[in-house]
Amino acid sequence: MRNGASTIGVIGAGVMGIGVAQNLAQFGYDVVLVDTGEEILAAARAAIAGHCRMSALMGGPALDAAEILSRIATSTSLDEVAKAEVVIENVTENVEIKRAVHERLDEICPAETVIIVNTSAIPITKVGAVGRHPERVVGVHFMNPVPVKPVVELIPGFHTSAETVRRTRDLLRGMGKRAVDVKDACGFVSNRVLMLTVNEAAYLVHEGVATAESVDEVFRGCFGHPMGPLETADLIGVDTILYSMEVLYEHYADSKYRPCPLLKQMTDAGLHGRKSGRGFHTYAG
């Protein structure tokens, strides 16, 4: 048991859920990782093992993959998180998909369970309103890749209690994270700015102003960014960028958030970035 939390439920074994589960296990927490299929969960375990093997080679700590994986149980049933003291939801940036998950969590989790919404754009108050206990719902925007990013945005909803925030802050500290307090505004701080940059960079490619390689080279070479905006899009997931832009556009009804058509076409074509092997750039393996 670490920092007042025993088993942590992690819902969603995509890029973010995998990172959250690995991060928790690295710091000694027991994890139940839930997704819809055994193949997805098997791929998640393989990905975590790969990340552990690569850690030292990439300048990070040496990690024992077997030890970390021994702390991560997997299941295709949401019921397995019913006894977790904290549940971290990481499903795709789609309000209706999140709603279905949170309706079920409201049914199976005791009132004292802290439910963390890992989202880059969706208002936390909107998610909290799904259940009977909005006071126990709080937002945390983890950055990708989760195990190596030291800072997160911590977003209380309108009804989130001070106790929920305290317990969440304690958990984040136990994961090696520093929490930056942000009010519950769609997109928060990071994605109100980042998504506009990525979307405009996509428009430059869409309009033929520059190639993706040239756009990223300008940001790396002229501004000293370690990654260009379209490399960042590939890392986050082109589909995730699109969903985030759609949420911002719907929420603010402001044309500056209108998603670039190229993002829609790439998402439909399965060009989702690193996780699919091709996005704005192509990736081996």
29 & 154 share domain: yes
Q: What is the pLDDT of residue 284?
A: 85
Confidence tier at 59 by pLDDT (50, 70, 90): confident
User: Is 144 annotated in some ligand binding site?
Assistant: yes
User: Is 149 annotated in some ligand binding site?
Assistant: no
Q: What is the pLDDT of residues 25-56, one digit of tens each?
A: 999 999 999 999 999 999 999 999 999 999 98
User: Is 266 annotated in some ligand binding site?
Assistant: no
29 & 112 share domain: yes
116 & 83 share domain: yes
User: Strand 151-156's sheet: what is its strand order?
Assistant: 72-75, 30-34, 7-11, 86-89, 114-117, 137-141, 151-156, 178-181
Q: What is the pLDDT of residues 111-159, one digit of tens each?
A: 999 999 999 999 999 999 999 999 999 999 999 999 999 999 999 999 9
User: Is 111 annotated in some ligand binding site?
Assistant: no
Positions marked catalytic: 120, 141, 153, 191
Confidence tier at 5 by pLDDT (50, 70, 90): low
Structural domain range at position 153:
7-181
Does residue 2 form part of some domain? no
Q: Can you tell me the distance from the alpha carbon of 54 to that of 5, in angstroms, rounded to the nearest whole number?
A: 29
Q: What is the pLDDT of residues 161-192, one digit of tens each?
A: 999 999 999 999 999 999 999 999 999 999 99
Contact (CB, 8 A) for 121 and 95:
no
48 & 150 share domain: yes
Q: What CATH number should be reported for the domain holding residue 65? A: 3.40.50.720
User: Is 17 annotated in some ligand binding site?
Assistant: yes
User: Is 93 annotated in some ligand binding site?
Assistant: yes
83 & 219 share domain: no
Q: pTM here?
A: 0.90
79 & 176 share domain: yes
Does residue 284 form part of some domain? no
140 & 42 share domain: yes
Q: What is the pLDDT of residue 285?
A: 64
What is the average pLDDT value for the chain, to the nearest integer?
95
